[in-house]
Amino acid sequence: MAALFVAGAVLAREPFDGDAAFARVEAQCSFGPRVPGTKGHAACLAWIQDEVRALGLVPEAHGFRAVAPATGDTLDLTNVLVRIAPEKSPRLLLGAHWDTRGWSDQETDPTLRALPVLGANDGASGVAVLLGLAEQFVATPPPIGIDLVFFDMEDQGRAGHPREYCLGSQWMARNWPGTLPDFVLVLDMVGSPETDLGRDLYSLGAFPGWNRLLFDVAEGLGFTEFDRTRAYELFDDHIPFLEIGIPSAVIIGFDAPTWHTQRDVPASVSADRLGRVGEVVLEVVHGGYLGR
């Protein structure tokens, strides 16, 4: 059984590069909205796989089919899994969704609500941090095993129907190839400087130690935007893994004012915020906090 350690030896490493992460946000947004079934979605999938290969890593494409709740269309979808240090344990799954919402239901202007969301923060920010982490782990190998997962079909559910969201992670939790990870951490909407970063009440109740560790690490680094008093009831990509008994958590800026609007563009994302999120994850991985 995996366990949490209070502290450990810290390996010498470079700081997380927030500017490079921001460039990856811009690269994803250059494809337009990444709504499943569109050209932008297909282009972004190819780009993610190319970015992974450029680091000397292997992207595993795990295809599945699902029905889009809003349209009834059956879609071919893809989760991308990247295994780093496959021989090591315990293993930490780091995940983010790469699709973007097909409509802007939080727009105050009703004429804009049918437009797809570009998703600089809600989509691209988490992916950008994951790719930056992959680059860091290649340069400084982690002391534990890492499974990066880029989840598809997270954001196509209808409001009020939580199980229509996170279809990629629901599929992955049911069909995980090999031994399941020991811990799960999802990054979602982590780029906006206009809101603090909080956590999820469900995972906080189920696995308080894992959730507390993440915010203790952020506090130790002096990152005040990680607000342990800010918690939400939400269904995100960590929940399917929590439901099968894996300690799971999410870092999320759920109060971002650009959420599900046409204002979710690169200008709404901060390289500094991306850098701080990446630093927290690197410290969790390299700081000796996870062990057996």
Sorted by where each begins, the domain ranges of the chain are 3-291
Do 241 and 175 contact (CB within 8 A), yes or no? Answer: no
Beta bridge partners of 62: 79
The pTM of this model reads 0.95
Instruction: Centre a 10 Å sphere on the Cβ of residue 19 and count the other Cβ atoms it contains.
Output: 11
> From 3.40.630.10, 2.60.120.620, 3.30.1330.10, 3.40.109.10, which CATH number describes the 3-291 domain?
3.40.630.10
Distances (CA, A) of 286 to 197, 208, 210, 289: 22, 21, 16, 8
* Residue 126 φ/ψ, nearest 5 degrees: -65, -40
> Can you give the length of the chain in residues?
292
Do 159 and 103 contact (CB within 8 A), yes or no? Answer: no
> Which position has the token pair 């800010």?
230
Q: What is the dihedral of CA 267, 52, 75, 250, to 10 degrees?
A: -60
pLDDT tens per residue across all 292 residues of the chain: 345 544 444 457 899 999 999 999 999 999 999 999 999 999 999 999 999 999 999 999 999 999 999 999 999 999 999 999 999 999 999 999 999 999 999 999 999 999 999 999 999 999 999 999 999 999 999 999 999 999 999 999 999 999 999 999 999 999 999 999 999 999 999 999 999 999 999 999 999 999 999 999 999 999 999 999 998 999 999 999 999 999 999 999 999 999 999 999 999 999 999 999 999 999 999 999 997 5
One-letter amino acid identity for 70? A
End-to-end CA distance of the chain: 7
